[in-house]
Structure 1
Amino acid sequence: MSVLARRAGAELVGTAFLVIAIVGSGIMASRLSPDDVGLQLLQNSVATGAALVALIVALQPVSASFNPVVTLVERALGMIDTRTSAALIGAQFLGGLVGALAANLMFGLDAVTFSTRERAGAGLWLGEVIATIGLLLVIFGTVRSGRTDRVAFAVGGYITAAYWFTSSTSFANPAVTIARTITDTFAGISPSSAPAFILAQLAGGAAGYALVRFLYPALAASTAAAAVAADRKVLS
């Protein structure tokens, strides 16, 4: 099997399990704590952060972005080529949809029910911009400082916190955003709200990329070398 196929497979599986964690823990939280939204968010955020740590640790030797914005920044930094980035992004979107379907079915819901939960407004969109910038700084700052083995814990911790300090509860991921439109549960977002969220995430991605290049001017060379090393690791 080719390296690209293995990478795409890892992104599909990882994104699917991430969405299962987000949607499934949201459903469970709503059922266990129906009258306490704050407790629901706590349960949802802890489960999501913990799942992220586990998934990144497990899949990082192959591919563990699970996020089209992260993959686009990797392409902009020269870590991967256009063909690879397109394959990984496609796998992320597909994996997200599979994850949402699986979570719905696990809890006895219809496989697809479009969310009726409106999430709109300048404050929420700004929250998505900030959440995405922060995510990129955490990921690429950790890599640039030579602590790639700690990315999983940095990302898991950041997302858990960002659920609470951003107005939008930190989607920060277009593939996850699309997936969450097909579940009318605690974690859902209405299809009409999703485009603005994705635009905000892309804007945050552009700003985060610029900030990463400013703070870590030697990042492109070092991360490209790390990507080559990762390729060799996958092949072994």
Structure 2
Amino acid sequence: MTVFDLPRRFAAEFLGTGLLVATVVGSGIMAETLTHDTALALLGNTLATGAMLVVLITILGPISGAHFNPAVSLVVCLNRMLPARDLPAYLVAQLLGGVAGTLAGWLLRPEIIRQTQPRKVQS
């Protein structure tokens, strides 16, 4: 098994987390936009997320382990399958990838951002 250098693993975790989060957010937004059937929206979101996970794990798994989640990286580190010195890089890559993925998902429907802004309501 090839061991890749830390910058390459950082890039794989950033890209994988970003694409996964963009898929979850984007497919959720599109599902809610295209149908009012909650079960159908959930099915569409689940299928898109599952398909993306298969692709990401297949492509990026050999490079970084395909954690894509800080909790997974922490557990892998605690089990001594990831060096502790590499954990901060994994966590930063995943957090930055998550933020980038969220923004990318929102770009599918920019008007969704305006809907999430607080507004005055009467009680």
Aligning the two structures, in what range does the TM-score lie when normalised by the shorter sequence?
Answer: 0.7 to 0.9
Deviation at 1:18, TM superposition (A): 0.2
Give the one of 8, 12, 15 matched to 2:14. Answer: 12
RMSD: 2.1
Contact 1:17 1:99 in 2 (8 A): yes
Q: Return the structure number with greater relative CO, CA threshold 8 A, min gap 6.
A: 2
The equivalences for 1:10-89 within 5 A come to 10-33=12-35, 35-63=36-64, 64-89=66-91
Q: Percent identity?
A: 46
Deviation at 1:27, TM superposition (A): 1.0
Query: Residue by residue, what CA displacement relative to the aligned partner does 1:205-234 show, whole Å, maximum 9, x if unpaired?
Result: xxxxxxxxxxxxxxxxxxxxxxxxxxxxxx
Amino acid at match of 1:48: T
TM-score w.r.t. length of structure 1: 0.45
1:108 paired residue number = 110
Amino acid at match of 1:67: N
Contact 1:102 1:111 in 2 (8 A): no
Deviation at 1:20, TM superposition (A): 0.7
Runs of 4+ in 1 over 4 A off after TM superposition: 110-116
- Cα 1:112–1:93, aligned 2, differ >3 Å: closer, same or farther? farther
Structure 1 segments unaligned to the other structure (5+ residues): 117-236
Q: Distance in 2 between matches of 1:42 and 1:66?
A: 22
Amino acid at match of 1:49: G
SS in 2 for 1:49: helix
Q: Distance in 2 between matches of 1:17 and 1:85?
A: 20
Contact 1:25 1:47 in 2 (8 A): yes
- Cα 1:36–1:110, aligned 2, differ >3 Å: closer, same or farther? closer
Q: Distance in 1 between matches of 2:80 and 2:114?
A: 37
The equivalences for 1:219-230 within 5 A come to none
Deviation at 1:14, TM superposition (A): 0.2
